[in-house]
Structure 1
Amino acid sequence: MTGMLIRSAFWIGAPRAGQEETFAAAINDELVPAMRRFPGVSSVKALWPVGRENDPPHIHCQVIVAYDSHDDMQRMLQSKERAALRPRVQAAMTLFDGTVSHIDYRTV
């Protein structure tokens, strides 16, 4: 199989009351730009729902990270840059009531 790999992080839940803008800024202005500098990463973007249909899970934000290969994704997962960003991700989690989970995809 060929195609890019996509690692998608789902922030399921909602920001804590009064933390909506701070949470969005943490994702948009801090985490996404830092992730764009990770080794092996082709692109990073945050998706913010503007509409919902058929009662989907409450995904407040989805962060999509693209890689050219499985090796690139593994290089990012094992990188010192990712490890260094973990405390900032944990800080964002304190602003959020919910969970973060990941799904890895291959594009066709």
Structure 2
Amino acid sequence: MIVRQALFDGTIHAGREAEFRRFVSERLMPMWRRFVGVRRVEVMFALERDEGAPSYPLVLAMTFDDAAALTEALNAPVRFESRAETGELMKMFDGWIHHHVFELAE
């Protein structure tokens, strides 16, 4: 199994935390669940972190059967729709998104 994570590295604009969460839950999560071949979608909102640790207010993890399934999902139209919506989300966020791909240990 392959897991692709998106780490939202930065901070949500002050006073917009609830709006940010609602946007993710109502607009992005339904799209992420429609990705071709996705087995599992996990959306994690940060509660706390170690002192001095980077701020990741949102982490998305999507699980796929294999690298080929991930590639297919990344080339599907819904991904490009979700990227446009994520652009709207970023108007409430100072920072950037980076992605990491992992292979699950058996």
In the TM superposition, what whole-angstrom CA distance separates every residue of 1:37-59 from its partner, at most 9, and x where no partner exists?
11011111111222323532111
The alignment covers a number of residue pairs equal to 105
Partner residue, 1:5: 2
Question: Residues 52-67 of structure 1: matches in 2 within 5 Å?
Answer: 52-53=49-50, 55-67=52-64
Question: 4+ runs of 1 displaced by more than 4 Å?
Answer: none
Alpha-carbon deviation of 1:103?
A: 0.5
Alpha-carbon deviation of 1:26?
A: 1.4
Q: Which runs of 5+ in 2 are unaligned?
A: none
Residue 46 (1) aligns with residue 39 (2)? no
Q: Partner of 1:57: helix, strand, or coil?
A: coil
Q: Which runs of 5+ in 1 are unaligned?
A: none
Per the normalisation by structure 1, the TM-score is: 0.89
Partner residue, 2:99: 102
Q: How many angstroms apart in 1 are the aligned matches of 2:17 and 2:65? A: 33
Aligned with 2:68 (options 68, 71, 86): 71
Q: How many angstroms apart in 1 are the aligned matches of 2:37 and 2:89? A: 24
1:67 is aligned with what amino acid?
F
Percent sequence identity over matched residues? 26
Q: Is the 8 A contact 1:9 1:103 kept in 2?
A: yes
